[in-house]
Amino acid sequence: MPSSPKTNSSRRQAGQLGGQATCEKYGLDYYRAIGSMGGRTTMARHAREYDVYRRRGGQATKRRYGREHFRRLARRSAETRQAATAQRDAVILDMLADGWKIPTIIQLTFDDLPGLRKYLRNGLGHYLKSERPETDLPNLFVSKSGRPLTLANTYKVMRYKQTKQNRPKT
């Protein structure tokens, strides 16, 4: 027997009220956690099935738009990731140019800020306010995921940025 529109409406309202009450009681992180659990469970149960769908979708997109479409997506993705750390990297390059060493730079904490006034005016302040991920770590410079920078990766990135900076613009 089909339900009446009035019944559907009252169920919808009850669901909304229940959702609001749950959100007030447990917060948004609760919904994120259960959504993540649901996603993991669904993938565990249906991974092969979704793998087929992903492949078909990718093949259809490739036929429709060509390989260049995927190259543009990859390029845009890389640019977005690089832009997310541009200010941090610029400050680190500035400090390197002034003679700082990478091991010292990546170990700087908020307690060291009073001695870094020059850099606070030249980008460090903007990085700390706008670009630095939320984390409880005391380190000034952290990765996009909020973890401390590693020595090896910082050397690699700064070497790349320095050579890119020294290349003539074309």
Write the pLDDT tens digit of every residue in 95-112: 999 999 999 999 999 999
Residue 43 lies in a domain: yes
pLDDT number for residue 97: 92
Of the CA atoms within 13 Å of residue 36, those in its CB half-sphere come to: 6
Q: Are residues 92 and 148 in the same domain?
A: yes
Q: Are residues 113 and 49 in the same domain?
A: no
Residue 79 lies in a domain: no
Overall domain count for the chain: 2
Residue 147 lies in a domain: yes
Q: Are residues 88 and 156 in the same domain?
A: yes
Return the closest-CA partner of residue 31 out of 42, 18, 22, 43.
22
Residue 76 lies in a domain: no
pLDDT number for residue 5: 54
Q: Are residues 50 and 97 in the same domain?
A: no
Residue 14 lies in a domain: yes
pLDDT number for residue 7: 59
80 vs 86: CA distance, rounded Å: 10
Instruction: Tell me how far CA of residue 148 lies from CA of 39, 67, 86, 138, 153, in angstroms.
Output: 29, 37, 17, 9, 11
Q: Are residues 92 and 160 in the same domain?
A: yes
Q: Are residues 94 and 140 in the same domain?
A: yes
Residue 77 lies in a domain: no
Q: How many other CB atoms are found less than 10 A from the CB of residue 32?
A: 10
Reported pTM? 0.55
Residue 74 lies in a domain: no
133 touches 144 (CB < 8 A):
yes
Q: Are residues 146 and 111 in the same domain?
A: yes
The tokens of 45 are what? Answer: 């149960």
Residue 69 lies in a domain: no
Q: Are residues 60 and 89 in the same domain?
A: no
141 touches 149 (CB < 8 A):
yes
pLDDT number for residue 106: 95
User: Which domain, by its residues, includes 123?
Assistant: 84-166
Q: Are residues 60 and 88 in the same domain?
A: no
Q: Are residues 59 and 118 in the same domain?
A: no
pLDDT number for residue 2: 55
* Average confidence (pLDDT) per 10 residues, the chain, 170 residues: 61 88 87 88 88 87 90 88 85 94 96 94 91 93 92 90 69
Q: What angle do CA 53, 59, 63 make, to 5 degrees?
A: 145
Q: Are residues 152 and 88 in the same domain?
A: yes
